[in-house]
Chain A
């Protein structure tokens, strides 16, 4: 049994009495000690999926409308709010995209880590403070004894994200969800933060869900990859399988859009068009208006998700009838 089993997850947004589906039929497993990458453009439902797993949809316009989430053998959706909160921040923790705004500006960083510790562990203030200093040291914040009393505005973006990681790891979670943890950081700091997360994973055995729009980051760090487009999984496979045999034109387009350093190109290979809005009705494949291989049937019937090989799932009418490898998209 996997640590996290997500089955047919559906999330909708409540607008004017109606609930429009934004995430549909999401199913995946995350094993202990494994890193799962979720990749896709902005607005494809990556973050919503992670917030739904974490239990943070409450109080917004978003509703979990179907599916199941099993974590460590427990059905998360059957738990009382209190039992759910006991898991949040303890066995399951999350790091967010915006380190500059994700820490409360009026409290010292040490106190924010201590809050997490004392919420889930019976510790004295003194013990928790000592542990907070250890955690800051673990995430390589220099001079942690002094820094523990700093306010967030006294730290750089990279340091704040390290504090977020320290806070997320405070109770030794089994699952860490990282929602674009490096997007807001400088490129040099990005690598440090990613390396730090993977290094800590090696030591603690934490499973990680890494959400990113950067296939490069995903290919270097993840064991398995889920590619999402407009709220659905369009392709998922082990990282090695996916990168050797990309079967969905969207995945190919994402890879083709990464500029290659030693090629002198005038135009980057972008995927033409944009992600359809949530209230746009597309009876066929949601990607067909942007797909250069689209056939007549793509506009009328939705493709099902089928295995093209073991563990390699593709949602496309013609997964094998095209030359594979970075030709989708074209010059836009």
Chain B
């Protein structure tokens, strides 16, 4: 019976087109066993921006007279319930979806939610919402599993890619900046700045309740991650006495402001400095791990081994500098 159940679950994941994308997320815990048990919480952030917390990555929802814009889409099985939550905010149709990066817990609901979008909204004129992402996300989603095979488009593939350092649009009465952060969590990360609402959606560049996952297989690096976090700190402006002001919606975890991004950046910088020092002393990866450079943060974030390995590897073999300056 157990065996049969496993096959059913595997088949379901294959149908969802998610299995391949989820494998690259160690320490993420994977998708929930039963989506019916997932609680969705929609919380107001500020201006016309809301945050939707559930399973997978956090979603950002911006609403107004022109309709609905989403940043990330969680998992496909949650799409009907996500749509119901959005309807509580706006009767408008989903016009835009912005993918912060390629992982399945952030783009899994693309296809199902895009179908709820306005007919003709997409530049590909297939109906449904426009899905925006950096071109590296599109490349990753269409890359064949085996070299030499014909590329196959994953369902929910972005249909409006950008390759420039930034892309902007004006929607629901506010300027929205989509900013590429090269070689950070992956090589296709975007952060999204809602300029009037004063909110930044970071994707998995910022995960305040866990060590960052630097996806080396998909172009992530510790220095790119730090550059991205420093950029987010540069963009955020706290209100009175370092609190409030620009709100930050992380890839996972609670709603934050600049202060939490600073703490997260500090932790990564300090660990980077330690690993760099150990590399200079000629230590191997195993020796670096044995030195426990994350010992003072493990009581908060759990084992730092995967993080340390990614830091070590990306300092030893940094990615080629990509993209032009902003």
Asked if A pairs with B, the answer is no
